[in-house]
Chains A and B, each alone.
Chain A
Amino acid sequence: MTDQVPPPSLYAAREPIFPRRVSGPFRNLKWVIMAVTLGIYYLVPWIRWDRGPELPDQAVLLDLANRRFYFFWIEIWSHEFYFVAGLLIMAGLGLFLFTSALGRVWCGYACPQTVWTDLFIKVERMVEGDRNARLRLHRQEKTDARKLRLRLTKWVLWLLISVATGGAWVFYFADAPTLLVDLFTGQAAAVAYITVAILTATTFIFGGFAREQICIYACPWPRIQAAMMDEDTITVAYREWRGEPRKHSQEAKTAPQGDCIDCMACVNVCPMGIDIRDGQQLECITCALCIDACDDVMERIGKPRGLIDYIALSDEVAERGGAAPRSVWKHIFRPRTMFYTFLWAGVGAALIVALFIRSDIEMTVAPVRNPTFVTLADGSIRNTYEIRLRNKNNDARLFRLFVKGDPALRITLEGTPYGSIEVPADTSFLQRVYVIAPPGSPPAQTDRQDLRFWIEDLTNGDRAWKDSSFIGTGNQP
């Protein structure tokens, strides 16, 4: 026991990654996408939208307290939450579509983890310098004034970005200008501060310290995305037939030499810390920075670009055999992507149709069935219904309620001698309604008769209806 060699640890500490600066078309694309996505995220809550005096003037607002979602001209009530579910389904199908066509483009360009990490790395590079300077600083064991100053500067900048990130999130849930003032004067709700604090902490830790670990260990996407990809998916790959054997390898001294000069540029720029030349890997987010880096090197040594490239794996095999690659469009338009597009468009079309056919007046009818009917003094049979009227207009509306069914049926409204109901702007209103069948009339004596409630908006004549039924004494055993 005593002279046994201690077992090797199964827990490896994180290898810090110091991505080198790179420039090229894909890097530029990433900058543009970062600017657009961050711009949308930070600015959208500040867009104003005039909805009249009673409603919030914010273009995009998730008003959880009043159970209303506002999205520009669209207002979604809580019972229409299927619109949100539909959008989430579309987002999922869209992700499937893009992944099957272009690999993990979401991960590489648009994922918040990628965007914020990219921003944090940019800040890190501005403060501490590029890869070599950062490596030196990391390896310097003694924390002197310079190291402390650089570290603190970096962390403070990260923290500012994190606070702004957490801060922007809460503006989607309340009137942004009011909330901003409230946040600074200590007037905002506790939940706002807690949300800001949590999002600040997660942004700071995920973007600053966890980085690629989130993508590798925490995110489920790398584990399931392979199900959407196949050999026709266009993804970042290394043209092994062209690159190997590498310049420094043993083989290269005897055999003809490949284009790869083993300069490690592709590895040094990779934010995930992988070597794409090892083949397809779970960690690869297809951000294409290695393509930019390699193309740069190939240009300098006078070789054609594209040693590392966006290619389909089937093409890599075809090229190896001397065949020409298939065109990009043939890769993208294939049954699988067509199927995803069809599903995506189907859900989208259904949502658009639902959006246009939905009415701005609605009602639900709940018959009171305890007891099913009441006998009145003169022998009439009365049924009670609880009718909820929804007025989605920005002004109060007067509704007339009437019933179609047996001509003997009469309708009265609880609490008012009139046949009409005023429903305030943007509210739902519960009205108790009685339907009475005179003694001896057919509906009073039968078990059950169908009837239909109508509402009419007296302002513009819009109508809506709901079917229900009338229970008479025939129901008695």
Chain B
Amino acid sequence: MTKVPPKQDGDPDTTGHTWDGIEEFDNPMPRWWLWTFYITIIWAVAYTIAYPAWPLVSSATAGILGYSTRGEVISDIAAVEEANAGINTQLAEAEITEISLNPELNSYAVSAGAAVYRTWCTQCHGSGAGGAVGYPNLLDNDWLWGGSVEAIYSTVAHGIRNEEDPDARYSEMPVFGDILEEEEIAQVANYVMTLSGGTPVDAAASQAGEAIYADNCSACHGDNGLGNNDLGAPNIADQIWLYGGDYDTLVETVTYSRYGVMPPWQQRLSEAELRAVSLYVHQLGGGE
């Protein structure tokens, strides 16, 4: 359709390739284009000298500017901490029960506490604080050591049954396998099932278990099985079981006892972080 103009005098050489009869002039590139190209080469070389670039066996060249992404992260974290220093001091010094009355401080504490929780607590208590067998659910309204914000703070700061913190609250259930006969354990387990409104596996054994319960268990768990927050003795009359409320689990619990340990966090977290995570846990829905 279109006529290809014949090659004229003064036309530059072609590249020597032909595509469907189309040839390409071998024109020089514009000077500004070439200069841009040279400058990018210089820039690239200078960049690899100035910044970390060349991979070595176990690391990379450091670059003469001493830049590192880790260093940048460290300074970013420092900048955030500096920016939050004021409100963190305020948080650490406020009366802990009064914090929820200050909306701004409370909202900061809950957000910061959620971050602390996700970093340190999710491994045991789950990312949604739903807990697991042996690890308390923090959303419900059953608290072994109390669910007020001060009680939660004390648990977080000192932990439970650990050897590192002398202030850690401590209690130990006896190993009744050494004290009671197997039959007696079966009887008391059956009785405990009735405390929370359940149906015992063996009704006769359950009746016999009442006296065994009164002699061995009521001192800590109370006459009606309501537990004791001061001793960390679980309420065994409610619907929440840390290790399970079925017959086999109860027999196992009574025979071998349970010994859940929580580490103390005041050695690792700042006062503001401890308070923040306590307030966060308190507002999850079970706080008293």
List of B residues within 8 angstroms of A370 by Cβ: 126-128, 130
Q: Tell me the residues in window 73-127 of chain B with beta carbons closer than 8 Å to chain A beta carbons.
A: 100, 126-127
Q: Which of B35-43, B173-181, B232-240, B264-272 contacts A (4 or more CB under 8 A)?
A: B232-240
A5 vs B8: C-alpha distance when bound (angstroms): 11
Q: Which of A259-267, A339-347, A373-381, A464-472 contacts B (4 or more CB under 8 A)?
A: A373-381
A218 vs B137: C-alpha distance when bound (angstroms): 63
Question: Is B126 a contact of A10 with CB atoms below 8 Å?
Answer: no
A371 vs B10: C-alpha distance when bound (angstroms): 80
Q: B140 at interface (Cβ–Cβ under 8 A)?
A: yes
Interface size, chain B (Cβ < 8 Å): 24
Known contacts A375-B140, A376-B140; A414 and B285 CB within 8 A of each other: yes
Return 12 A-B CB contacts under 8 Å, by A number: A6-B10, A370-B127, A371-B137, A374-B140, A374-B285, A375-B140, A375-B240, A376-B142, A377-B238, A384-B285, A415-B100, A439-B239
Question: Is A432 a contact of B10 with CB atoms below 8 Å?
Answer: no
List of A residues within 8 angstroms of B260 by Cβ: none
Known contacts A374-B139, A377-B140, A377-B142; A7 and B240 CB within 8 A of each other: no
List of A residues within 8 angstroms of B139 by Cβ: 371, 374, 382, 384
A195 vs B127: C-alpha distance when bound (angstroms): 44
A10 vs B29: C-alpha distance when bound (angstroms): 10
Name the residue in A5, A376, A384 with the highest tally of chain B Cβ atoms < 10 Å from its Cβ: A376
CB-based A-B contact count at 8 angstroms: 60
Closest Cβ–Cβ distance, residue B226 to chain A (whole Å): 10
A253 vs B12: C-alpha distance when bound (angstroms): 41
- Grouping DSSP codes into helix (H, G, I), strand (E, B) and loop, the A interface class, with mixed when no group exceeds half, is loop
Closest Cβ–Cβ distance, residue B14 to chain A (whole Å): 11
Q: A368 at interface (Cβ–Cβ under 8 A)?
A: yes
List of A residues within 8 angstroms of B100 by Cβ: 415
List of B residues within 8 angstroms of A11 by Cβ: 30
A432 vs B283: C-alpha distance when bound (angstroms): 9
Task: Please name the 5 residue pairs, one residue from A and one from B, whose CB atoms are nearest each other, closest first.
Answer: A370-B128, A371-B130, A377-B238, A379-B239, A7-B12
A378 vs B235: C-alpha distance when bound (angstroms): 11
A377 vs B9: C-alpha distance when bound (angstroms): 98
Q: A39 at interface (Cβ–Cβ under 8 A)?
A: no
Q: Tell me the residues in window 404-430 of chain A with beta carbons closer than 8 Å to chain B beta carbons.
A: 414-415
Q: B48 at interface (Cβ–Cβ under 8 A)?
A: no
Pick the residue among A10, A368, A379 that contacts B27 (CB under 8 A). Answer: A10
Closest Cβ–Cβ distance, residue B129 to chain A (whole Å): 8
Q: Report the contact-size class of chain A (Cβ under 8 Å from the partner).
A: 20 to 34
Q: A434 at interface (Cβ–Cβ under 8 A)?
A: yes
List of B residues within 8 angstroms of A414 by Cβ: 283, 285
Interface mask (A340-378 → B, CB under 8 Å = 1, otherwise 0):
000000000000000000000000000011110011111
**Residue on A nearest B107 in the bound complex, by CB:** A430
Question: Is B10 a contact of A8 with CB atoms below 8 Å?
Answer: yes
Interface mask (B142-167 → A, CB under 8 Å = 1, otherwise 0):
10000000000000000000000000
Question: Is A5 a contact of B283 with CB atoms below 8 Å?
Answer: no
List of B residues within 8 angstroms of A439 by Cβ: 239
Question: Is A7 a contact of B10 with CB atoms below 8 Å?
Answer: yes
Closest Cβ–Cβ distance, residue B99 to chain A (whole Å): 12
Q: Tell me the residues in window 1-44 of chain A with beta carbons closer than 8 Å to chain B beta carbons.
A: 5-8, 10-11
Question: Is A377 a contact of B285 with CB atoms below 8 Å?
Answer: no
Tell me the B residues contacting A by CB distance below 8 Å. 9-12, 25, 27, 30, 100, 126-128, 130, 137, 139-142, 197, 235, 238-240, 283, 285
Closest Cβ–Cβ distance, residue B165 to chain A (whole Å): 29
Closest Cβ–Cβ distance, residue A445 to chain B (whole Å): 14
A337 vs B30: C-alpha distance when bound (angstroms): 45
List of B residues within 8 angstroms of A6 by Cβ: 10
List of A residues within 8 angstroms of B197 by Cβ: 379
Question: Is B130 a contact of A374 with CB atoms below 8 Å?
Answer: yes
List 17 other contacts, CB 8 Å, given A371-B130, A434-B285: A7-B11, A7-B12, A7-B27, A368-B128, A370-B127, A370-B128, A371-B126, A371-B137, A374-B130, A375-B239, A375-B240, A376-B140, A376-B142, A376-B239, A376-B240, A377-B240, A379-B197
List of B residues within 8 angstroms of A5 by Cβ: 9-10
**Residue on B nearest A384 in the bound complex, by CB:** B285
Question: Is B285 a contact of A382 with CB atoms below 8 Å?
Answer: yes
Closest Cβ–Cβ distance, residue A14 to chain B (whole Å): 15
A5 vs B127: C-alpha distance when bound (angstroms): 78
Closest Cβ–Cβ distance, residue B9 to chain A (whole Å): 7
A7 vs B283: C-alpha distance when bound (angstroms): 80
**Residue on B nearest A412 in the bound complex, by CB:** B285
List of A residues within 8 angstroms of B239 by Cβ: 375-379, 439
A378 vs B142: C-alpha distance when bound (angstroms): 10
Closest Cβ–Cβ distance, residue A12 to chain B (whole Å): 12
A376 vs B130: C-alpha distance when bound (angstroms): 12
List of A residues within 8 angstroms of B12 by Cβ: 7
Name the residue in B25, B126, B140 with the highest tally of chain A Cβ atoms < 10 Å from its Cβ: B140
Question: Is A376 a contact of B10 with CB atoms below 8 Å?
Answer: no
List of B residues within 8 angstroms of A368 by Cβ: 128
Closest Cβ–Cβ distance, residue B33 to chain A (whole Å): 10
**Residue on B nearest A6 in the bound complex, by CB:** B10
Pick the residue among B11, B128, B141 that contacts A371 (CB under 8 A). Answer: B128
Pick the residue among B126, B142, B283 that contacts A415 (CB under 8 A). Answer: B283
A379 vs B198: C-alpha distance when bound (angstroms): 12
List of A residues within 8 angstroms of B235 by Cβ: 377
Name the residue in A6, A369, A374 with the highest tally of chain B Cβ atoms < 10 Å from its Cβ: A374
A378 vs B141: C-alpha distance when bound (angstroms): 9
List of A residues within 8 angstroms of B10 by Cβ: 5-8
A375 vs B127: C-alpha distance when bound (angstroms): 17
Question: Is B128 a contact of A377 with CB atoms below 8 Å?
Answer: no
A370 vs B64: C-alpha distance when bound (angstroms): 48
List of B residues within 8 angstroms of A379 by Cβ: 197, 238-239
A432 vs B128: C-alpha distance when bound (angstroms): 14
Question: Is B9 a contact of A374 with CB atoms below 8 Å?
Answer: no
Closest Cβ–Cβ distance, residue A353 to chain B (whole Å): 37
A384 vs B284: C-alpha distance when bound (angstroms): 9
Known contacts A371-B130, A382-B285; A377 and B11 CB within 8 A of each other: no
List of A residues within 8 angstroms of B11 by Cβ: 7
A466 vs B283: C-alpha distance when bound (angstroms): 24
Closest Cβ–Cβ distance, residue A362 to chain B (whole Å): 21
List of B residues within 8 angstroms of A434 by Cβ: 285
Closest Cβ–Cβ distance, residue A437 to chain B (whole Å): 13
List of A residues within 8 angstroms of B130 by Cβ: 370-371, 374
A122 vs B140: C-alpha distance when bound (angstroms): 76
Known contacts A5-B10, A370-B127, A371-B130; A377 and B141 CB within 8 A of each other: yes
Closest Cβ–Cβ distance, residue B180 to chain A (whole Å): 28
A371 vs B25: C-alpha distance when bound (angstroms): 70
List of A residues within 8 angstroms of B140 by Cβ: 374-377, 382
A439 vs B238: C-alpha distance when bound (angstroms): 12
Closest Cβ–Cβ distance, residue B203 to chain A (whole Å): 21
